[in-house]
Amino acid sequence: MPSPRRPTITDVARHAGVSKGAVSFALNGRPGVADSTRARILDSARELGWVPDHRAQALSRSRAMAMGWIIARPARLLGADAFFPLFLAGVETRLSEVGRALVLHVVEGGPDAEAAVYRRLAAGRVDGVFLTDLCANDPRFDLVERLQIPALAVGRPCDPQRLPWVGVDDGTGALAAVRHLVELGHRRIAHVQGVPGLVHTTSRRCAWETGLREAGIPLGPMVTGNFDGLQGAEATRSLLAWDPRPTAIVYASDLMAIAGMQVLAAEGIQVPGNISVVGFDDVAVARLLHPPLTTVRHDVMAWGRAAASSLLAITDGEEPTTGWLDPAELVIRDSTAPPPKPLHTITAKD
């Protein structure tokens, strides 16, 4: 059996008795082809089972029909990341609608390795890139400019003029969390922040500070966690050593909060009876915990969709939508409650 070579546009042209150009016009729905001819061409294409060759199309259109996302992070951490799969799902659904693919790269090994991947992608592999995990003085801003590759920042860059961006204001949600705790009567509210340097770590911490300040509460203890939850456990233990001990802890991620709750449970500290806990992300298990976790939700899939739309606009030469999407919002469940003692120390019942 001879290997049935995939039909090319030439085969379709011959079959329909027209030229290559006519086929191209007909299939891209452009004027200049008589209706009857167009119908004949479409029939031929269907009959032969012709599908445009992606490589040829990419070359002649000078477009890769794909977007790139480079994640510079130890691959193992992706398993514990709340943002990654949902953002990806959002991006993907949007790109699929217009026949674009997502080219994904996970790169470990420092800025040089990362830059090398950007260079590879810029050489016609993708039409644009998403920049996630923004940090202060992000070197990728220079990089994409030098590489002349369209880019979209996911989150608000420190210099928002430099690049189009789409962000979810997580500060609003974090502030709502602190206000919620203040309303419940908490005066000693600690914070476990995320990886230092990332803009969302900063924005969440600043929101926490703002919340305390507007309530006239001195800044409470703050410790630093990281991507996985393990640091959340350690951070929690160090907070418990504080004197006076915090009555509430605002974590920068659900995973750290979950790890923290385990430490509290192991120490015999009731949540929310003795200490209130707030997470961030609203991961799938958050509502399944005991107690269900009060947390801050952001619609990450919608974020992904919006980011994809913006990047598509950029690469298509249109004006991209840029700025904030719906802000993150507080989801109150059962891990927050009034603090154990009436208010402050004045009722020195201790």
Footprint of DNA (CB under 7 A) = 6, 8-10, 17-25, 27-28, 31-38, 50, 52-53, 55-57, 59-62
| C-alpha 94, offset from chain centre | 14
Crossing angle, helix 83-97 and helix 300-315, to 10 degrees? 40
Tokens of 110: 């420092």
Site string for a second copy, 80-119 (x = CB under 8 A): xxx-xxx-xxx-xx--x--x-xxxxxxxx--------x-x
Asked whether 189 and 174 are in contact (CB, 8 A), the reply is no
Q: Tell the smallest beta-carbon distance from residue 99 to DNA (Å).
A: 11
CB of 257 to DNA, least distance (A): 50
The answer to the question of residue 290 lying near a second copy (CB under 8 A) is: yes
Distance, CA of 262 to CA of 277 (rounded, Å)? 11
Q: What is the CA radius of gyration of the chain?
A: 26
- CA–CA separation, 212 vs 206, rounded Å? 10
Q: Binding pattern to a second copy, positions 226-245, x when CB under 8 A? A: --xx--xx------------
CB of 48 or CB of 325, closer to DNA: 48
Partner from DNA, a second copy, none binding residue 338, C-beta < 5-8 Å depending on class: none
Nearer to DNA, 31 or 218 (CB): 31
Region of 71 on the Ramachandran plot (φ > 0 left; ψ -120 to 50 alpha; else beta): beta
**Nearer to DNA (CB atom), residue 36 or residue 161:** 36
Burial class, 161, CB count within 10 angstroms (exposed 0-12 / middle 13-18 / buried 19+): exposed
- Distance CA(334)–CA(222), nearest Å, equals 23
- Is residue 50 within 8 A of residue 11, CB to CB? The reply is yes
Task: Give me the least distance between CB of 148 and DNA, in Å please.
Answer: 13
Query: Is position 42 an interface residue for a second copy (rule: CB under 8 A)?
Result: no
- Residues in the site for a second copy, rule: CB under 8 A? 6, 51-56, 58-59, 62, 64, 66, 75-76, 78-82, 84-86, 88-90, 92-93, 96, 99, 101-108, 117, 119-120, 122-125, 228-229, 232-233, 255, 258-259, 261-262, 265-266, 283-285, 288-290, 292, 300-301
